Amino acid sequence: MKIQLSAITDALDMIWEEWSIYLNRETGEIINLPNEAFALAEENESEEEIDEALTHAEIVEDENDITIAQDILNHPERYACLPDQYDINEYEIMRDFSQSYEDEHICGELCDAITGRGAFRFFKSTIARLGIRDEYFAFKEKAYKKIAREWCEVNKIEYYED
């Protein structure tokens, strides 16, 4: 089964802290689950235990999330975990974009924007103020495509590009 590369890059763009994204190798479905579902799946096996656990869960609201997490844990060969926020390193993408900018003045502003506390927020407001937001998102999309291609190759997943 071949996977559309843009489906992988879209999933990478939706990564949240405390969540994991998997590709079902058999169906091609991309599954986004809170990490809490895996903890509940490991701790609770019966339907009654799962129902009780859901009453105390902070993020998981659906029994189906726990069932899917159990399947991932019991059949890891069926699934491939997509890169997480640390594998992607958006800060590095912002830095690479900043350093690659040919206009020295803009390059300097961008490099200053990613220094210190609030770097992500300050960088995003700086690219908006400079009118280069679309350029950054095109750069970021290229970086995500590269990450997705490498991930597919490492995990022996066939893909096609749009």
Amino acid letter, residue 109 = E
Q: What is residue 45's predicted lDDT score, i.e. its pLDDT?
A: 63
pLDDT one-digit tens code per residue, 62-119? 677 888 998 999 999 999 999 998 889 999 999 999 999 999 999 999 999 999 899 9
Q: What is residue 146's predicted lDDT score, i.e. its pLDDT?
A: 96
Question: 32: helix, coil or strand?
Answer: strand
Rounded Cα gap, residues 103 and 121, in angstroms? 22
* DSSP type of residue 96: H
pLDDT one-digit tens code per residue, 21-77? 999 999 999 999 988 888 878 775 656 655 555 555 555 666 778 889 989 999 999
Per-residue pLDDT at 153 exceeds 70: yes
The mean pLDDT value for 128-135 works out to 97
Q: What is residue 58's predicted lDDT score, i.e. its pLDDT?
A: 56
Query: Can you say whether residue 144 is alpha, beta or left, with left for phi > 0 and alpha for psi between -120 and 50 degrees?
Result: alpha
> Could you tell me whether strands 19-24 and 30-34 are parallel, antiparallel, or unpaired per DSSP bridges?
antiparallel
Q: What is residue 154's predicted lDDT score, i.e. its pLDDT?
A: 96
